[in-house]
A and B are shown apart, each in its own frame.
Chain A
């Protein structure tokens, strides 16, 4: 496929890997003293494992898997609320397939569907709109999840529903934004990162300027990257080159898709339909200020929280964690998935305990599918465990 195959060329990959190795040597990186690069986006985590990039690279480069998998950071309580909405009489609850198996405090959407709730997987919010047109007597709710990549789609669907007067359509909005959790991670005194690979598809919407604070306030490089192997390798090389030259800047490896200032139409739709919530809960990370989006009063009729009196509309959410799971520590890069006591012992993709095991973009599931054979001895030993998960609130309350 065009724009895919060219960016998988093995000869060029070898050249990049060699250059990355030489640069890592030049800055004195070693397995004992690695350069730690966080890939923020779950899509990158998935690609790194799928193509085995972590194993091909110089031993002095360590990937820390960031919180950029929207399914993985969805709080259990929000899953419970989704199930509660789906259980209301007359509701057709629609969701991306990714969210089906995320465990709530008692069940997942998948289990709720088996128990009789009308829950349907859709590919797009447009499919949910279609259902609303076809079933005017039913209440069609779309489970809005995802970062700035999918938020414009939800915003446009709401706008379209308003235009058509589809009074039986609403969105249960769980959209979140990328910059606030990065700030929260950088403000964590325990977090030792040397640079970031920035999310390509979030950035195609928001542009690269929202990351200016990363070099500006924290002195760390960030390179926005595409998702093919050559993209990721080039982005890693660009981060290392900045480290070697003592620079910290926002750079764009993915210029074929990411404009400096993002996509004006998407940004306008988001701004029209959504506003930041004062704070939003992230599974494993706790409440993060202004990190979630809610539907503006103007579009209240299409807000499932308002319509069903559920969620933040019903009051503040307590934070919760699953028994004995180390999702928070994994998500903040403190430990590798294999170091979690539940990894493979009670927590597998078939029976996930934590959300990181659910989505193919979650760090634990990626390890399980692509790196399982490596086992804890080879992988777990490379990283010291530095304490458990975190909770609490980030930033000024």
Chain B
């Protein structure tokens, strides 16, 4: 409906074609971008960066989060540090990261991972802490300790929270990767979007935007579907 209205409005001259190209024109451009490989060539690096950043953030975040949930001392020590660093928008870490690692892929990936890491660590800690102490006590009573207690009680108990953290973290990684690519990359969807703006290729800009939007939808709803499939007993924590 909206798309048809848009098409009609442009055709009738209500919207300026230079700024609001017809959806059909955008589609034609998108087809051409896909056919000559431009779109894929830019989507590839973005996907690889998200994959790396997300794996890094998830691996470290869940580990640190579990440790913080289990050991009070660690939690008390790291909490204030995390509380200060977490609200800093990820993109500001780009200069810092670029001092530590060589500019290029590694800097982009690390910057993208920062905020996702904190989100995942926070929710994981919360997930361990909200486990009913009675359950843990009962498990101990039945002789579960050490590794067994961890895999049979603590991890499954925290899993719904961990999953919420992963979902939020993935969403954040996409936001940051686009921002970072706008600033500091020659390839990637963010870079393509910004480049198309700078040379005023409006149709390419729309086409890129729709790919980014689709990517966001696929990542977010894909992960939600995966959670319902894997953890059917637990509601998404952020939905409460």
> Does B bind A?
no
